[in-house]
Amino acid sequence: MKRGSFFQRYEFKYLLTRTQQALLLAEAGDRLTPDEYSHSSIRNLYLDTPDFRLIRRSLEKPVYKEKLRLRSYGRADDEHPVFMELKKKYRSIVYKRRLTLPYGQALCCLSGDQLWPDTQIGGEIDYAMHFYPDLEPCVHLSYERDSWKETEGSLRVTFDDSIQFRTESLRLDSDPWGTPLLKPDQVLMELKAPGAIPLWMVDLLTDMGLYKTSFSKYGAAYSIMLEQKFKGEKQYA
């Protein structure tokens, strides 16, 4: 499985209906073509501290923020390649380091039973794991992704639906299930580019009345978790 190990790009998010998604793809026409990985079933384990330090800081919208997650494409067994990712954002630019290793080995590294690979990216992940105390998987977040790329350019467009999260069964070798984050007719579109979004896409978004959103999957999951906790405390107060 060939997937990049380092990314530096801008990412912009939009919430669409399925009708808007179909219209946008129709209007884009042959400017977009299916990506090499045109459809993916993505599973993530987001790592955080017991007091959710990383996501709390992220929701404060600081100039710099970072997240750690373990990702698989499809259901993972011990030998299935997974991706340990360190995702940083500074002044709207996203930097992502990605380490590829078998799922079983990744679990051993996370538990501290094995060292992270002796590479530059492995060293960065190891530093982050030691910088934040008591990091552990806190949320399982899964979704279905359809990916497109600009036929003559560097723009990448992804559509995520069936986005759901859970705080139980925090493994990548199980089927996806959990609490939905979007309405049944909603899709999350992400535009990813090393620089400016091409003018033809800007014009299309303007014509369709589509505007950027700051939607974060993990952030939305955390907000629901807080709401559920508050309701529980209020019920038994």
What is the per-residue pLDDT across 102-134, written as a single tens digit (0 to 9) for each?
A: 999 999 999 999 999 999 999 999 999 999 989
Q: Which sign, positive or negative, has the C-alpha torsion 114, 116, 119, 123?
A: negative
**CB 30: neighbour CB atoms within 10 A?**
7
How many other CB atoms sit within 10 Å of the CB of residue 89? 18
Q: In order of start, what are the domains of the chain with their CATH numbers? A: 6-235 (3.20.100.30)
Residue 206: is its pLDDT beyond 80?
A: yes
pLDDT number for residue 5:
76
Q: Which residues contact 227 (CB under 8 A, 6 or more apart)?
A: none
Please provide the average confidence, as pLDDT, over all residues in the chain.
93
Question: CA–CA distance from 111 to each of 69, 114, 116, 121 (Å)?
Answer: 14, 8, 11, 18
- Cβ neighbours of 196 (radius 10 Å): 10
Return the closest-CA partner of residue 7 out of 184, 154, 181: 154
Phi first, then psi, for residue 30 (nearest 5°) are -80, 5
Q: How many CB atoms lie within 10 A of CB 202?
A: 12
User: Which tokens hold the place of 158?
Assistant: 């992804």
Report the pLDDT value the prediction gives residue 236, as an integer from 0 to 100. 52
pLDDT of residue 2 exceeding 90, the answer is no
Angle at 219 between CA 54 and CA 12, to 5 degrees: 105
Q: What angle do CA 188, 68, 119 make, to 5 degrees?
A: 125
Tokens 């954002």 correspond to what residue? 89
pLDDT in tens, 82-98: 999 999 998 889 999 99
Does position 143 have pLDDT exceeding 70, yes or no?
A: yes
